[in-house]
Chain A
Amino acid sequence: MNPFTEALQLLLSGDPYVMAIVVRSLAISGSALLLATIIGLPIGAWIGLSNFRLRVPAIAIVNTGLALPPVVAGLAVYLLLSRSGPLGNLELLFTPVAMGIAQVALAGPYIAAVTLAALEGLPTDIGLQAKGLGATRLQAAVLQLREVRTSLVAAIAAGFGAIISEVGAAMIVGGNILGETRVMTTTIVLETRRGNFGVAIALGVVLLVVALLVNVVLTGLGARTRRPIMS
């Protein structure tokens, strides 16, 4: 059968093997994204809104995280979770949790860096302006984050796109175990090697749709720009 026809059939019939992989991919990456947001957003906000002695090195570290290659993140998590590693006794290697940790390591710095950059783009005295109306420090911080919410949503969407399409770390720490850690990207690699192009193409299409949805979100947010300050 033509692999394209086969891919179409797999998708339209809701093939259990393909659907399980899609659901697992979305679950792992979705959970990782949630955790990366919970960790990355406050860190970016804290660095962006505070003035402390080591702020510049902190910004440099967060920005370095942006350039972290997925395979290096995977290697670091592997070494951390391997039997002889510091967290080896947890026996998390080759589990969805290990994959999630690697994806958090990739998406967290990205979300933190974009949050930080977005806040730095606001006028320098904006926090004081909020306090000048009676805001507490927390209320002023929330108000500023609300001002950059478009950038934050864009960062989260882009982070999701990056981790769900990543293959290096997923392969290293997940091991591509059937029914457990096999996700879309690792399956595409495997099925392509096996010559099962239909499955590979079907999952590729799903990944493309995910990428398309992410871009639709980003484009929609980009169109909602506004003039933020009087001049």
Chain B
Amino acid sequence: MMTSVLTLQGLKYKAGGRVILDIPDFAVDANGILAILGPNGAGKSTLLRVLAGLSRPPEGTLQVSSGGKTSRGDEAVETLRLRSAFVFQNPYLWSGSVRRNLELGLRFRRLNATEIGRRVNAIVEQLGLGAVLERDAGTLSGGEAQRVALARALVLDPEVLFLDEPSSNLDAEAHAALREDLDRVARARAGAIILATHDRPDAFYLADRIAVLREGRVVQTGTPAELFENPVDPFIASITGAELSFRGTVTSTDRELLTIDIAGTEVLAVGRASIGDAVKVAYRPEDLFLSAEAPAGGSARNRFKVRVSEVRSLGALVRIRLAGPADLVAIVTRAAAAELEIAENSEIWVQVKATALHAFKV
């Protein structure tokens, strides 16, 4: 069983009469990446600061387990101070050279000059910062500055690394590079990594576990696969990419397998509901399989003949709107669309597995 390096209990954080955070229990494993995923304003940054001991909530206890000792409250904050590092969304690079920035946290830890030099050289090599090491930090590009900010934290070999939306201000190229740095270097140098992000691909690509935050509350926690396969509500389904949905009425149930009437057509989906319940059925457009001919065999239990109402190019992919028992949207590759000869007003077959349709009571 994985031990927790950080735990929070009874956290309540209010500001201006509004509940910012209300989290009865929260635990962070000693290793691996935990993503706190949620939309803007969900409370991710506040939760991260509370976990890092940088912000004191009016209610709630922070507990730190480090080096075989457990500490709480002020003692926990002091323990974290020299064993953690925090990368802010808009990291401030202190005046002076990049080297000075990299050395700063090591000086706070009172390491000797030899050790400081060794660690700086190591991180510079790992993140390829040699070309900017002696440059004035104020002259760096956004991508370079973010890498320096990450290096400045990683050089500390923190037991806990806090990352607050580290990629939010980066262009696509710098974003991809940062993601690789996090996966390759940060995993190797830091113990637990807590990543607050609204970027779904980042969370699913990097995280070992994801905690989804909405309006200050943790809605669901699990591995990316658990969230993907068993979203507990439409919000989580949406977070995991099932952004599209249609509505129907439950006509029969077999444990969590529901038969749903959609405008006279029966659809099988998974979820928790009773006969007669109105439900919203969420799906991911990439889970719809299209075929020119009526499908024979296969595991997909939902099959409909639909009419193509709109075809939109997304570059390498094509988005196809389909009119059938419900309005559906499918995404296929450009090559697949060409092979299927998809055109507006043509007819086509759609297959989708029951497990790819998530029904929620409305």
Contacts and interface: CB of A to CB of B under 8 A. Distances in A.
Contacts, number: 75
Interface string B118-158: 00000000000000000010111010011001001100100
Nearest to A134: B108
Interface string A114-137: 000000000101101101111110
| Chain A interface helix/strand/loop/mixed | loop
Interface string A137-157: 001000100110000000000
Interface residues of B, number: 33
Contacts of B300: none
Query: Chain B at the A interface: mostly helix, strand, loop or mixed?
Result: mixed
Contact of B104 (A133, A228, A230): A133
Given A128-B49, A231-B169, A133 B146 contact: no
A229 B109 contact: no
A227 interface: yes
A226 interface: yes
A132 B85 contact: yes
B105 to A, nearest CB: 4
Contacts of B218: none
B91 A226 contact: no
A134 B90 CA distance: 18
Contacts of A230: 90-93, 140, 142, 145-146, 149, 169
Contacts of B91: 129, 230
B88 A129 contact: yes
Contacts of A226: 95, 136, 138
A147 B145 contact: no
A82 to B, nearest CB: 48
Interface in B76-99: 81-82, 84-88, 90-95
B360 interface: no
Given A129-B86, A129-B88, 6 more contacts: A133-B105, A133-B108, A226-B95, A229-B93, A230-B142, A230-B146
Interface of A: 123, 125-126, 128-129, 131-136, 139, 143, 146-147, 226-231
